[in-house]
Protein backbone atom coordinates (compact mmCIF):
# COMPACT_ATOMS: atom_id res chain seq x y z
CA UNK A 1 0.00 0.00 0.00
CA UNK A 2 1.35 3.42 -0.88
CA UNK A 3 -0.38 6.13 1.12
CA UNK A 4 -3.82 4.75 0.30
CA UNK A 5 -5.23 6.34 3.45
CA UNK A 6 -6.41 9.91 3.07
CA UNK A 7 -7.59 11.89 6.05
CA UNK A 8 -9.83 14.95 5.87
CA UNK A 9 -8.20 16.67 8.83
CA UNK A 10 -4.47 16.59 9.50
CA UNK A 11 -1.87 18.35 11.63
CA UNK A 12 -0.18 21.21 9.76
CA UNK A 13 3.50 20.17 9.85
CA UNK A 14 3.67 16.43 9.19
CA UNK A 15 0.05 15.71 8.18
CA UNK A 16 -0.62 13.47 11.16
CA UNK A 17 -4.29 12.44 10.98
CA UNK A 18 -6.65 14.06 13.46
CA UNK A 19 -9.82 12.66 14.97
CA UNK A 20 -13.10 14.44 14.41
CA UNK A 21 -16.27 14.46 16.47
CA UNK A 22 -18.44 11.40 16.01
CA UNK A 23 -15.84 9.57 13.92
CA UNK A 24 -16.31 5.84 13.53
CA UNK A 25 -13.33 3.46 13.39
CA UNK A 26 -11.13 5.89 15.33
CA UNK A 27 -8.49 3.19 15.68
CA UNK A 28 -7.56 3.57 11.98
CA UNK A 29 -6.82 7.27 12.44
CA UNK A 30 -5.08 6.82 15.78
CA UNK A 31 -2.96 3.90 14.54
CA UNK A 32 -1.87 5.84 11.44
CA UNK A 33 -0.91 8.82 13.61
CA UNK A 34 1.06 6.53 15.94
CA UNK A 35 2.95 4.92 13.03
CA UNK A 36 3.96 8.33 11.67
CA UNK A 37 4.84 9.61 15.14
CA UNK A 38 6.98 6.53 15.75
CA UNK A 39 8.91 7.27 12.54
CA UNK A 40 9.41 10.95 13.41
CA UNK A 41 10.28 10.80 17.12
CA UNK A 42 13.85 9.69 16.47
CA UNK A 43 14.21 9.58 12.70
CA UNK A 44 16.93 7.28 11.42
CA UNK A 45 17.41 6.61 7.71
CA UNK A 46 19.41 3.84 6.07
CA UNK A 47 20.67 6.32 3.48
CA UNK A 48 19.30 7.61 0.18
CA UNK A 49 17.30 5.44 -2.23
CA UNK A 50 16.06 5.99 -5.77
CA UNK A 51 13.82 2.92 -5.81
CA UNK A 52 12.24 0.67 -3.19
CA UNK A 53 14.68 -1.82 -1.66
CA UNK A 54 13.89 -5.47 -2.32
CA UNK A 55 13.44 -6.67 1.27
CA UNK A 56 12.80 -3.83 3.73
CA UNK A 57 11.87 -4.52 7.33
CA UNK A 58 9.13 -2.67 9.19
CA UNK A 59 10.44 0.64 10.52
CA UNK A 60 13.33 1.05 8.09
CA UNK A 61 13.45 4.47 6.45
CA UNK A 62 15.28 6.16 3.58
CA UNK A 63 15.53 9.60 2.03
CA UNK A 64 14.08 9.51 -1.47
CA UNK A 65 16.74 10.72 -3.91
CA UNK A 66 16.19 13.06 -6.82
CA UNK A 67 14.78 11.31 -9.88
CA UNK A 68 13.39 8.34 -7.96
CA UNK A 69 11.53 5.56 -9.77
CA UNK A 70 8.84 2.94 -9.16
CA UNK A 71 6.85 3.51 -5.94
CA UNK A 72 9.25 6.33 -4.96
CA UNK A 73 8.62 8.39 -8.13
CA UNK A 74 7.37 11.89 -7.40
CA UNK A 75 8.47 11.82 -3.76
CA UNK A 76 11.93 13.42 -4.09
CA UNK A 77 13.45 14.44 -0.71
CA UNK A 78 10.68 12.73 1.29
CA UNK A 79 11.41 10.32 4.08
CA UNK A 80 9.99 6.96 3.09
CA UNK A 81 9.44 4.20 5.62
CA UNK A 82 8.33 0.62 5.24
CA UNK A 83 5.47 -0.33 7.58
CA UNK A 84 3.20 -3.33 7.93
CA UNK A 85 0.73 -1.37 5.80
CA UNK A 86 3.25 -0.58 3.04
CA UNK A 87 5.27 2.54 2.20
CA UNK A 88 4.65 5.76 4.13
CA UNK A 89 5.98 9.03 2.72
CA UNK A 90 6.69 11.96 5.02
CA UNK A 91 7.34 15.39 3.52
CA UNK A 92 10.29 16.96 5.34
CA UNK A 93 9.94 20.34 7.04
CA UNK A 94 12.64 23.01 7.40
CA UNK A 95 15.06 22.05 10.18
CA UNK A 96 14.12 18.37 10.34
CA UNK A 97 17.17 16.38 11.44
CA UNK A 98 17.66 12.66 10.77
CA UNK A 99 20.51 10.30 11.51
CA UNK A 100 21.90 8.78 8.30
CA UNK A 101 23.36 5.33 8.95
CA UNK A 102 25.16 5.19 5.58
CA UNK A 103 27.13 8.38 6.33
CA UNK A 104 27.27 7.94 10.14
CA UNK A 105 26.13 11.51 10.79
CA UNK A 106 23.07 13.72 11.02
CA UNK A 107 21.43 15.34 7.98
CA UNK A 108 19.35 18.50 8.18
CA UNK A 109 16.61 19.51 5.75
CA UNK A 110 16.93 23.08 4.46
CA UNK A 111 15.13 22.92 1.08
CA UNK A 112 17.40 19.92 0.41
CA UNK A 113 19.02 17.32 2.66
CA UNK A 114 22.38 18.68 3.79
CA UNK A 115 25.31 16.62 5.01
CA UNK A 116 27.71 18.49 7.29
CA UNK A 117 31.09 19.09 5.74
CA UNK A 118 34.23 18.83 7.81
CA UNK A 119 37.11 21.21 7.38
CA UNK A 120 40.42 19.69 6.36
CA UNK A 121 42.87 18.72 9.05
CA UNK A 122 45.38 21.50 9.72
CA UNK A 123 48.49 21.52 7.55
CA UNK A 124 50.94 23.96 6.00
CA UNK A 125 51.57 27.49 7.23
CA UNK A 126 54.81 29.23 8.15
CA UNK A 127 54.68 28.53 11.87
CA UNK A 128 53.89 24.99 12.89
CA UNK A 129 52.42 24.58 16.33
CA UNK A 130 52.25 20.83 16.82
CA UNK A 131 50.19 21.10 20.02
CA UNK A 132 47.54 23.28 18.35
CA UNK A 133 47.49 21.02 15.31
CA UNK A 134 47.07 17.94 17.53
CA UNK A 135 44.24 19.63 19.45
CA UNK A 136 42.42 20.63 16.25
CA UNK A 137 42.83 17.16 14.74
CA UNK A 138 41.43 15.61 17.94
CA UNK A 139 38.50 18.05 17.94
CA UNK A 140 37.66 17.23 14.32
CA UNK A 141 37.84 13.50 15.10
CA UNK A 142 35.43 13.94 18.04
CA UNK A 143 32.98 15.88 15.84
CA UNK A 144 33.12 13.10 13.23
CA UNK A 145 32.69 10.36 15.84
CA UNK A 146 29.64 12.11 17.35
CA UNK A 147 27.93 12.39 13.97
CA UNK A 148 28.15 16.18 13.78
CA UNK A 149 30.55 16.09 10.82
CA UNK A 150 30.76 13.48 8.09
CA UNK A 151 33.95 11.47 7.79
CA UNK A 152 34.21 11.84 4.01
Evaluate the CA torsion angle 40, 93, 17, 87 in order and state its sign: negative
Give the pLDDT confidence of 121-131 residue by residue, as tens digits: 777 777 778 88
In a domain, 127, yes or no: yes
Count the domains in the chain.
Answer: 1
E strand or H helix that includes residue 133: helix 130-145
Q: What is the pLDDT of residue 60?
A: 93
Rounded to a whole number of angstroms, the distance between the first and last alpha carbons of the chain is 36
Query: How many Cα atoms occupy the beta-carbon half-sphere of 97 within 13 Å?
Result: 5
Q: Provide the whole-model pTM.
A: 0.70
In a domain, 130, yes or no: yes
Evaluate the CA torsion angle 91, 94, 97, 100 in order and state its sign: positive
Beta-carbon contacts of residue 9 (< 8 Å; ≥ 6 apart): 17, 18, 20
Asked whether residue 3 carries a pLDDT value surpassing 60, the answer given is no
Structural domain for 138, as ranges: 116-145
Give the pLDDT confidence of 101-123 residue by residue, as tens digits: 999 889 989 899 988 877 777 77
Give the pLDDT confidence of 49-101 residue by residue, as tens digits: 999 999 999 889 999 999 999 999 999 999 999 988 899 999 998 889 999 99
In a domain, 120, yes or no: yes
In a domain, 123, yes or no: yes
Q: What is the pLDDT of residue 80?
A: 95
Closest by CA position to 62, among listed 32, 92, 94, 29? 92
In a domain, 76, yes or no: no
Amino acid sequence: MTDALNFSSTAPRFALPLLFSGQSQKEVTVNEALVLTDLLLHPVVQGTALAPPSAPTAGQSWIVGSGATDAFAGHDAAIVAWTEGGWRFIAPQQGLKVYDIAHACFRVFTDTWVLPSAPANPSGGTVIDSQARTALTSLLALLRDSGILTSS
